[in-house]
Every structure is written in structure tokens, then in C-alpha cells.
Amino acid sequence: MPESQPPESGTLVIAALLVLALVFAGSWVVAYVTPGRDPTVLIPRFVAAAVVLVALAIFLYVRRGRGR
């Protein structure tokens, strides 16, 4: 493992994605049981948030790697 990369950085990304998944599941259930709400409208928002999270993690990984 590169010395410039802290070992917990990957764990933080995984934890953030797991929290995002839990929030998505909770939002889906609330939207599903609420009359007149369509839970499928939540999908693009949460997919965009996950993509931003992964892109930010990749950017920070590359930035730290080139900073050596």
C-alpha cells in the first residue's frame, strides 16, 4: 500500500456508500407507503449521489498519488 494513502480511506468510502444505501432504503419505504408518491423518482438522485461519492474518492486517490 502506498505510504501517502492512509489505510482507512477505502473504508470511509465503503462506509459512506453503505450509509447512502441505508438512507435510500428508508426513503424508498417511506415513499412506498405514502399514498400518491412514486418511489422510483428517488433512484436518479441516489445514483447521482453514489456516482459523485465514487468520483470524489477516485479524484482524491489520484491527487494523493501524484502529490508524492
Quick: pLDDT tens for 26-50: 999 999 999 999 999 999 999 999 9
Query: Is 44 a member of any domain?
Result: yes
The phi, psi pair for 4, rounded to 5°, reads: -75, -15
Domain that holds residue 27: 9-66
Query: Is 1 a member of any domain?
Result: no
Q: In 3-state terms, what secondary structure has residue 5?
A: coil
Query: How far is it between the farthest Cα atoms of the chain?
Result: 55
Taking the C-alpha atoms of residue 18 and residue 53, their distance in angstroms, rounded to an integer, is 11
Query: Is 3 a member of any domain?
Result: no
Taking the C-alpha atoms of residue 7 and residue 1, their distance in angstroms, rounded to an integer, is 8
Are the C-beta atoms of 42 and 28 separated by less than 8 Å? yes
pLDDT on residue 12: 87
Model-level pTM?
A: 0.77
Query: Is 2 a member of any domain?
Result: no
Query: Is 4 a member of any domain?
Result: no
- Domain count within the chain: 1
